[in-house]
């Protein structure tokens, strides 16, 4: 596309970047929501149950941003 004239058209590239920014925002919001839910569930359980250990592992991954 190097021979296509540009003529100052920034709308299309701006629109694409807005879509990327919105997708990243939704992903970040989802990760935050997931982390808060895990923290809430973890606070409701006794400290040494197997379920608590499992949730702690998930929470560690959520805090590092590794939840899909």
H/E segment holding residue 47:
none
Tokens of 22: 């919105």
Give the separation between CA 1 and CA 27, rounded to whole angstroms.
32
Q: What is the pLDDT along the chain (68 residues), one digit of tens a residue?
A: 567 676 777 888 899 999 999 999 999 999 999 889 988 888 887 777 777 778 888 888 877 875 54
The pTM of the full predicted model, rounded to 2 decimals, is: 0.58
In this structure, what DSSP letter does residue 45 have? S
């Amino acid at each position: 596309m190097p021979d296509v004239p540009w003529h100052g058209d920034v709308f299309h590239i701006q629109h694409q970047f807005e879509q990327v920014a919105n997708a990243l925002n939704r992903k970040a919001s989802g990760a935050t929501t997931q982390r808060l839910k895990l923290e809430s569930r973890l606070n409701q359980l006794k400290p040494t149950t197997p379920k608590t250990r499992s949730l702690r592992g998930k929470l560690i991954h959520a805090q590092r941003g590794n939840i899909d």
